[in-house]
Amino acid sequence: MKVVGHQIHRYRRWFGALACSQATRLAAGAGVHLQLQASCGRRGFGDAAPWPGFGSGSSLKTITAQLEAAAEQLHGQELSEVMEIDDAVGELKLPSEGRHALELALLDLLAQEQERPLHELLGDGNRERIPVHRLIHDEEDAQRAAAAGASCVKLKLGASSLSEDLDRVRRIRRRVPAKLRLRIDVNGRWDLATAQEAERRLRPYAVEWLEQPLSNGDLGQLARFRSGSQIPIAVDECVRRLSDVDCIAAQQAADVVVIKPMFVGGLMAARAIYWRARDRKLRAIITHSLESCVGQAAAIQLAASLAGSLEVCGLAPHPPNAGSRATGAFVTVPRCAGLGAIPERPSGSPAKRERYTL
């Protein structure tokens, strides 16, 4: 496989009713698609989409410039093995989002060349579908998810007062079956006192876990909070490299590791973090980061590559009506050669609203 050309196109994220600040919407409102072209004419796609507080902390402008230079350096190179791709991308010292895009586009090309789904390049897993949770905002969302067959939902808290958040949880639990699993993600919006009060008051509502409850990355404080919590604790923003998993396990700071390939530097880095977490007796799940269909498909391919039992992952399409691969409690793994997703870009448009075609 020889790379002979590339293009980079900007796209806009779709937020819908997602609870996040206007500053976040402005800072995380766009990403870029990388298209690599091989000498045989095939095209491979990658996705880079930064988000404040996650990943490298680099701006989209910086990531794009570095990705442009890195893709240029790959012109003319022959890459025929997964480890050759890992070595070539690693030498370029890209921020995590740029590495994700470049590695993904190369893996997409290699899988197409070998006429295999991308997940078969990565590991021994060979799943036809992935169990997924549904992102909800209120009791109406929860009811729709349950009616569609979802087994697990995820609710974002912390943007409102604690009393308002608890009232929302109470209404949701009253309106959905008791067997529907409820995960809560705080995105680091609580201080320690608020988190402790919230945990005590959430105990009656069968919460599967609290994700990133505290507003700082102090694992010692998180470990102290976890020691008094009856609800398991998940971490997300704290996980960026292998050594982070070792620190989390050593300090007993969490029960669950949430892995976003975009922010840890690509699919191969995410696989290594997943297996390190499992080795350290931590639960682990794969989620996307609300990027385009390209990045979302990559996370699905990663989850499909993982052998053994698999937790319910955060891989339902976003926007929720995107494509037809999500049914009930599962998302279907693409079986075609390569990644299984192609971004649509109107001709002549400098930037577009992603038209998700998983």
- Are residues 95 and 56 in contact, defined by beta-carbon separation less than 8 angstroms? yes
Model confidence at 143, pLDDT cuts 50, 70, 90, reads very high
Phi/psi at 128 (5° precision): -90, -25
For position 75, what pLDDT does the model report? 96
Domains of the chain, CATH where assigned:
3-116 (3.30.390.10), 129-332 (3.20.20.120)
- Are residues 276 and 132 in contact, defined by beta-carbon separation less than 8 angstroms? no
Query: Tens digits of per-residue pLDDT, 156-193?
Result: 999 899 999 999 999 999 999 999 999 999 999 999 99
Q: Please give the average per-residue pLDDT across 109-113, as a whole number.
A: 97
- Are residues 266 and 56 in contact, defined by beta-carbon separation less than 8 angstroms? no
Q: Please give the average per-residue pLDDT across 93-117, as a whole number.
A: 97
Query: Tens digits of per-residue pLDDT, 312-349?
Result: 999 998 766 554 466 789 999 999 999 999 887 643 44
Region of 148 (left: φ > 0; alpha: ψ -120 to 50; beta: rest) is: alpha
CA distance 111 to 132: 25
CA nearest neighbour of 103 among 85, 121, 87, 81: 85
pLDDT at 83 over 50: yes
Sign, CA dihedral 16-50-214-285, equals positive
For residue 260, indicate whether it is catalytic. yes
CA distance 61 to 74: 20
For position 318, what pLDDT does the model report? 76
User: Which distant-in-sequence residues (6+ apart) come within 8 Å of 271 by Cβ?
Assistant: 122, 123, 302, 305, 306
pLDDT at 304 over 50: yes
For residue 2, indicate whether it is catalytic. no
CA distance 268 to 245: 16
Tokens, residue 241: 């490299």
Q: Which residue among 2, 154, 156, 352 is the active-site one? A: 156
pLDDT at 353 over 80: no
* Better-scored residue on pLDDT, 19 or 30: 30
DSSP H stretches of helix in 203-260: 219-227, 242-251
Q: Which residue among 2, 93, 154, 260 is the active-site one? A: 260
Query: Kind and range of the H or E element at 9?
Result: strand 3-12
Model confidence at 20, pLDDT cuts 50, 70, 90, reads low
- The vertex-216 CA angle with 213 and 220, nearest 5°, equals 85
CA nearest neighbour of 22 among 52, 42, 50, 61: 52
* Better-scored residue on pLDDT, 347 or 1: 1
The DSSP code for 252 is T
Local structure of 118: helix, strand or coil: helix
The DSSP code for 311 is P
CA nearest neighbour of 4 among 44, 42, 39: 39
For position 10, what pLDDT does the model report? 95
| DSSP secondary structure, 16-27, as one string | TT----HHHHHH
Can you say how many angstroms the Cα of residue 190 is from the centroid of all Cα atoms in its chain? 22
Query: Tens digits of per-residue pLDDT, 232-263?
Result: 999 998 899 999 999 999 999 999 999 999 99
Percent of the chain exceeding pLDDT 90 equals 81
User: Which distant-in-sequence residues (6+ apart) come within 8 Å of 135 by Cβ?
Assistant: 18, 153, 154, 156, 314, 316, 318, 320
pLDDT at 52 over 90: no
- Encoded amino acid at 43, one letter: R
Model confidence at 352, pLDDT cuts 50, 70, 90, reads very low
Local structure of 304: helix, strand or coil: helix
Q: What is the mean pLDDT of the chain?
A: 90
